Amino acid sequence: MPGSAKFIRTSLWVALAVAVALLGLTAWSNDFITLQGERTVYSAVCQQGVWVGDRCTGVLAAGDRYRFRALKPRGEVFFWISGSPERSGRFTECVITDGRNWTCKANADAPRSITLQLSGGRPVIDPAANTRQFHAVSKIRWVLLKYGLSFGDRAAAP
């Protein structure tokens, strides 16, 4: 029996390690763990085709990563495209609950952003706002697209 107790103990540790790894992967893929006040929105582009609503007539590929940093005490939200030489933008008249929930008034930087508001970490699209068009995808799908693993032809339409 001592051998079976060791097997059970080892099995429990393996099960615990797998559970922790799965929780970690889930947290990473949903950007659950981020820097305070930051949020990233991942986008897809339609290569060799056009968007028809949320459907790409060509091949889906990884697009830009739009990053937002909310500074609640100052009522400001900074935004930029990760890895882009384009300068960052800033909204100054913002009502901020946290990094995943805020709304800002449009300013001269609005045309360089994809949104003026995040709700639950997701960009809220206002057709009247003068912001960039984009099609959002999950982080894990963006990573797969980045490495050329395209499946399906749909991405969230604004």
Whole-angstrom distance, CA of residue 131 vs CA of residue 116:
8
Range of the domain at 135: 38-146
| Residue 33, pLDDT score | 45
Tell me, yes or no, whether 117 and 50 share the same domain.
yes
More confident residue, 111 or 5: 111
Q: Which of 27, 43, 33 has the alpha carbon at shortest distance from 156? A: 43
Residues 8 and 48 in one domain: no
Q: The whole model's pTM is what?
A: 0.77
User: Across all residues in the chain, what is the average pLDDT?
Assistant: 84
Q: What local confidence, expressed as pLDDT, does residue 123 receive?
A: 94
Average pLDDT of span 103-115: 96
Q: What is the pLDDT of residue 28?
A: 44
Is 157 inside any structural domain?
no
Q: Which residues contact 36 (CB under 8 A, 6 or more apart)?
A: 99
Within this chain, do residues 7 and 52 fall inside the same structural domain, yes or no? no
Query: Does a structural domain hold residue 12?
Result: yes
> So what's the pLDDT on residue 155?
86
Angle (CA) 51 40 42, round 5°? 25
Instruction: Kindly state the average pLDDT of the residues 27-32.
Output: 47
Same domain for 107 and 46? yes
Residue in the structure block whose two tokens are 């099960």: 15
pLDDT of residue 144: 94
Mean pLDDT for the stretch of residues 118-142: 91
Per-residue pLDDT band at 154 (split at 50, 70, 90): confident
> Cβ neighbours of residue 19 under 8 Å, at least 6 residues apart?
none
DSSP string over 110-152: GGGSS-SEEETTEEPP-TTS------EE-HHHHHHHHTT----
Residues 127 and 79 in one domain: yes
* pLDDT value for 127: 86
Total structural domains within the chain: 2
